[in-house]
Amino acid sequence: MEKNSHEPWSEIVFGSSDSRVSQSIRRAVLNGELRKLAPRLYTSNLKDTPERIIKHHLYHILGEFYPGAVLSHCTALDGGPSPEGTIILTYKYTKRIALPGLKIRLIKGEGAEEGDTLFMGKLFLASRERALLENLQFSRKRGNHTKTFPRAYIEEYLDKLCRNYGVEELNLIRDKARLLSKKMDLVKEFQILDSMISALQGTRETAILTTPMGLARAAMMPYENQRLELFAKLALALKGNQLSKSKISTVADDSVTNLAFFEAYFSNYIEGTEFEIDEAADIIFRGKLTPYRPEDAHDILGTFKIVSNIKEMQTVPKNHAELFELLKIRHAELLSARKEKEPGKFKRKLNRAGNTVFVHPDLVEGTLIKGFELYEMLKPGIARAIFMMFLIAEVHPFLDGNGRIARIMMNAELVNVGECRIIIPTVYREDYLSTLRRLSRDRDENPYIRMLQRAQDFTASIDFSDYKNAILQLQKCNAFLDSSEGKLVF
């Protein structure tokens, strides 16, 4: 039936072999109701660019033009156009088509197989196993166009699957791909896939692997690459930044004891273990463990025991094995009263804070090792302290207590070279957390570096030799206020 002139056109209109519909479309184009986007493709959207319209209706268009086609090869594996903007479809014939902002490559091949998923009504999405096998096919690159991803991409893809779902997922893929490869005559490709999976699991020679992450997993020490890139960015900034050396830290017994008290007090307050200052003094100096909050009292006491021990705080790791040992010993002391938090043991469950998901348990040791390599290139003192704090906070190697351990590790770097420690007072908590988030999420390291330098300057400005006098100075600086009640001044 011919379309009535008063009936609105859809945003996407397809050409028709029906002469009446074809004539109606032609009149609508002449009347300015429709415009042509490509052969047999029109739109009633007269405002947006053709590229934007096609992108919005992409799979509807492909389904109408090539019903039964399979989104395959690199398109199936990555879920969209190839890096050069090409959609790969396995279809009845081979052809290249250009649409505004998009290239389509049709490859003659098998239609939908068992495991392929019906997609948007008329298309199919290749199964993960099929996509992996297809991407391991030999492919000649013509100009900037190729139907497959490089071998390294497949290796990284498999590593990510293993990281997120475990080695069992790779075994499941291998079992399904073995059956599919015989049906689709992709046996050679399966042999490559099988070798890659076995190498990643450490059960076969690793010569087939090429990526640093793949080789690390084969060596049973996988790491998180995205976080490593972030650590590298921070390390380079610290290496190139002329960080001013702080005042030499005082070593008098009273000063160290009082400084350690406030360090433990504020570090726990940041994490929500909140006591009045007099309550904290009772716990630490007079051994009065609050009966209604015994675990919280043990937390602050455990922190104090570590940071008040000069020999302990002068100890920094010389290699990654010592890093692991220091972390575990200090964590065991810190959370000795919280057995459910597995004190002294790296986490076995994934943890998060808000929208931030920390490093997967399987990747903790590998990521710490790679991060320690970056730590070693920095000068001892403030640069290493700033880096170490973020490394531990971002990896989050334990179920709980990660922030406190990160700050302990940071200050040990400073005590080791006789520089002033860093205390984060309550009023500075939001500045501290916001710059950490900014570095973690936006990769902006400069506010984080400036924040810690200012906190060190603040700490150096307080005379900790007399407890009561230190209290008065901290009060004048607004140190005990909530961040919503004031700002740090000194």
Question: Where do the domains of the chain lie?
Answer: 1-47, 50-147, 151-218, 225-476
Task: Determine the Cα–Cα distance for residues 92 and 87; give it in Å rounded to an integer.
Answer: 16
Q: Which of 82, 96, 100 is nearest to 35 (CA)?
A: 100
Task: Determine the Cα–Cα distance for residues 396 and 440; give it in Å rounded to an integer.
Answer: 12
Own/partner long-range contacts of 31-36 (Cβ < 8 Å, ≥24 apart): 33/9, 34/9
| pLDDT attached to residue 448 | 97
Q: Distance of CA 455 to CAs 248, 426, 429, 432, Å?
A: 15, 11, 11, 9
| pLDDT attached to residue 1 | 41
pTM of the model: 0.70
| pLDDT attached to residue 217 | 81
| pLDDT attached to residue 155 | 93
CA dihedral angle for residue 127, residue 132, residue 133, residue 136, rounded to 10 degrees: 160
Provide the pLDDT confidence category of residue 144 given band limits of 50, 70 and 90. Answer: low
Provide the pLDDT confidence category of residue 6 given band limits of 50, 70 and 90. Answer: very low
| pLDDT attached to residue 209 | 85
Residue 137, number of CB atoms within 10 A of its CB: 13
Task: Determine the Cα–Cα distance for residues 351 and 106; give it in Å rounded to an integer.
Answer: 44
Task: Determine the Cα–Cα distance for residues 448 and 410; give it in Å rounded to an integer.
Answer: 14
Provide the pLDDT confidence category of residue 2 given band limits of 50, 70 and 90. Answer: very low
Q: Please give the CATH number for the structural domain made up of 225-476.
A: 1.10.3290.10
Task: Determine the Cα–Cα distance for residues 229 and 443; give it in Å rounded to an integer.
Answer: 10
Take residue 212 and report the two structure tokens written for it: 């640093």
Mean pLDDT of 316-335: 97
Q: Distance of CA 457 to CAs 245, 291, 300, 423, 432, Å?
A: 10, 37, 24, 10, 14
Can you name the residues that pair with 407 across neighbouring β-strands?
none
Task: Determine the Cα–Cα distance for residues 70 and 123; give it in Å rounded to an integer.
Answer: 6
Provide the pLDDT confidence category of residue 405 given band limits of 50, 70 and 90. Answer: very high
Helix orientation angle between 320-334 and 364-375, rounded to the nearest 10 degrees: 120
Task: Determine the Cα–Cα distance for residues 347 and 342; give it in Å rounded to an integer.
Answer: 8
Task: Determine the Cα–Cα distance for residues 340 and 347; give it in Å rounded to an integer.
Answer: 11
Burial class (CB in 10 A: 0-12, 13-18, 19+), 312: middle
Task: Determine the Cα–Cα distance for residues 282 and 280; give it in Å rounded to an integer.
Answer: 5
What count of residues does the chain have?
490
Pairing relation of β-strands 123-125 and 70-71?
A: parallel
Q: Distance of CA 366 to CAs 200, 359, 395, 408, Å?
A: 15, 10, 10, 21
Mean pLDDT of 146-175: 89
Provide the pLDDT confidence category of residue 62 given band limits of 50, 70 and 90. Answer: very high
Q: What is the pLDDT of residues 192-220, one digit of tens each?
A: 999 999 998 888 777 888 888 788 787 77
Provide the pLDDT confidence category of residue 290 given band limits of 50, 70 and 90. Answer: confident
